[in-house]
Amino acid sequence: MTETVFSEPQVFRDIATLQQHLTEVRQEGRKVALVPTMGALHEGHLALVRKALKEAQEVVVTIFVNPKQFGPNEDLASYPRDEETDLKALGKLGKVTVFIPGVEEMYPGDFSTFVDEAQLSKGLCGVSRPQFFRGVLTIVGKLFNIVRPDIAIFGQKDAQQAAVIQKMVRDLHFGVEIITLPTVREEDGLAMSSRNQYLSKAQREEAQALSKSLFEAKEMVEQGVRSTDRVIAEVTHLLAQHRRVRLIYAQVIDTETLEPCREIVPGQSLLALAAWVDQVRLIDNIRL
């Protein structure tokens, strides 16, 4: 039987000490990869860290539940937090540096500068969560400046987030290569998310409808359907059969520009959706 090697990750909680460590890393000529997370790590996060370990000699994983990306009535207080389990999971992957700052460290009382992207961030999730991308870009921009990584790795489940970050990097010349990895799914197809922990057994069953509707849409496209309206009508119809599921949006968009597509271009169009399963907000998407 092979034993899992557990190497305790090196944890930093303040910016100055982390930066001291990273100065030494850079002096040794080591490539730095950043994996920003809000903790409650699942297989999707771990896949990002595994990729980082392959690509760079220094891997920095950040765990920070960023208050600036939550709206006033959202789940900031109840967002799952389990530092001990997260550190154990990371330690099993290899040698990882973990940055776990407190809120005061990232946002001192007089903090007043934000990053706002004015185009890609305004549709899709930006409609129902108007504060979200401003909060994400502000924290990701800060982490880029603190860590100064060569590469940063994000999940495709948050396709709009990845596109908006990529745009910020280009517009503001961050000089970080962004790598996006495919969504990791549960056996039943549900996209992995820290928020899946909120789902009861009954809600969890209903939540499967999201990925099932995406797979059905992909099948339609494989069979030659190109009309966005037909695909959206089918997805809406499938989801409407689940009484706990309330669709927030379902849109076919271009994978890069996030512009809505009237005609599906296989390989270039993305079907993205967000839905409530009772009080739990989930997102998912599929390349058509």
Min. distance of Cβ 228 from ligand PAF in angstroms? 27
**Among 9, 66, 211, 244, interactor with ligand PAF by CB under 6 A:** 66
What's the rounded Cα separation, in Å, for the pair 85 and 237?
40
- DSSP labels for 86-104? HHHHHHTTSS-EEE---HH
Residue 135 in tokens = 């909060």
How far is Cα of residue 167 from the mean position of the Cα atoms in its chain?
A: 15
> Does 140 participate in binding ligand PAF (rule CB under 6 A)?
yes
> Does 232 participate in binding ligand PAF (rule CB under 6 A)?
no
**Residue 271, beta-bridge partner list:** 252, 286
Residue 242 designated active-site = no
**Toward ligand PAF, which CB reaches closer, 125 or 235?**
125
How far is Cα of residue 55 from the mean position of the Cα atoms in its chain?
A: 19
> Does 162 participate in binding ligand PAF (rule CB under 6 A)?
no
Residue 138 in tokens = 């502000």
Min. distance of Cβ 222 from ligand PAF in angstroms? 30
Residue 116 in tokens = 């706002």
Which candidate in 21, 42, 45, 237 is catalytic? 45
> Does 139 participate in binding ligand PAF (rule CB under 6 A)?
yes
What's the rounded Cα separation, in Å, for the pair 167 and 148?
17
Label residue 258 left, alpha or beta by phi (over 0 means left) and psi (-120 to 50 means alpha).
left
Sites for ligand PAF among residues 68-87 (CB under 6 A): 69
Give the interface segment with ligand PAF, choosing from 35-43, 168-176, 228-236, 252-260 (CB under 6 A): 35-43
> Does 136 participate in binding ligand PAF (rule CB under 6 A)?
yes
**Catalytic positions:** 45
- The site for ligand PAF (CB under 6 A) is made up of 36-38, 66, 69, 136, 139-140, 158, 161
